[in-house]
């Protein structure tokens, strides 16, 4: 199951929310402009060339690229970027296999989304973020990039990503019995 953990951006040891409930995850991420949903996995879920992976999910990819404008679609394996950054394009990530954490820095909070196969994360352009897949990152995602849906925010000093719990720590401490904590 997907795991969402939220911390204040100035207190990474203070958990505001930790949940595996898909409805709570969807609502919390929507509050910061990020889309979260689950797509059914096509069989077989593992292996194949980029064109074979894209072919298995063509109908769903097409549903993300029907709007007018430029769309770039590719398959990405094991990428991590542990430095907070922003992109000038909206970006969807559909997790085909493996897992990774997307850290979204929105306002005074950091939302860490531990994504797994079937998860679709839609991150708007100019959202401060970083992502990690652990020491042996082997997750496979379909990445769809779209024209920006919102204007750039003023530049801000990036967070030091290393002060927040990393992929390995979140996976190791994970348990489906964790209660959701209120804000």
Q: pLDDT, tens digit, for every residue of 38-63?
A: 999 987 656 678 999 999 999 889 88
pLDDT-derived band of residue 133, with 50, 70 and 90 as boundaries? confident
Tens digit of pLDDT for each residue in 63-103? 888 876 678 899 998 888 888 888 888 999 999 999 999 99
Measuring CA to CA, which residue among 78, 79, 122, 77 is closest to residue 104?
122
Hey, what are 122's tokens? 């839609």
CATH value of 3-172 in 3.40.50.720, 2.60.120.10, 2.30.42.10, 3.40.50.20: 2.60.120.10
What is the CB-side half-sphere exposure of residue 173 using CA atoms within 13 A? 13
Domain edges within the chain: 3-172
State the Cα–Cα distance between residues 144 and 135, nearest whole angstrom.
Answer: 25
Which phi and psi (to 5°) does residue 31 adopt?
-60, -30
**pLDDT for 3 beyond 70:** yes
Tens digit of pLDDT for each residue in 95-126? 999 999 999 999 999 999 999 999 999 999 99
């Amino acid at each position: 199951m997907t795991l969402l953990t939220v911390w204040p951006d100035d207190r990474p040891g203070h958990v505001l929310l930790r949940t595996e409930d898909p409805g709570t995850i969807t609502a919390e991420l929507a509050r910061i402009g990020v889309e979260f949903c689950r797509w059914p996995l096509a069989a077989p879920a593992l292996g194949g060339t980029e064109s074979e992976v894209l072919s298995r999910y063509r109908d769903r990819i097409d549903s993300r690229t029907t709007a007018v404008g430029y769309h770039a679609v590719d398959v990405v394996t094991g990428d991590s970027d542990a430095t907070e950054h922003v992109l000038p394009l909206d970006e969807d990530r559909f997790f085909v296999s493996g897992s990774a954490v997307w850290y979204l820095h929105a306002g005074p909070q950091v939302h860490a989304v531990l994504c797994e196969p079937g998860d679709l994360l839609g991150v708007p352009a100019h959202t401060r973020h970083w992502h990690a897949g652990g020491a042996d990152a082997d997750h496979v995602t379909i990445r769809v990039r779209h024209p920006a849906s919102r204007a750039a925010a003023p530049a801000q000093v990036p967070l030091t990503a290393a002060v927040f719990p990393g992929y390995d720590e979140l996976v190791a401490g994970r348990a489906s019995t964790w209660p959701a904590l209120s804000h």
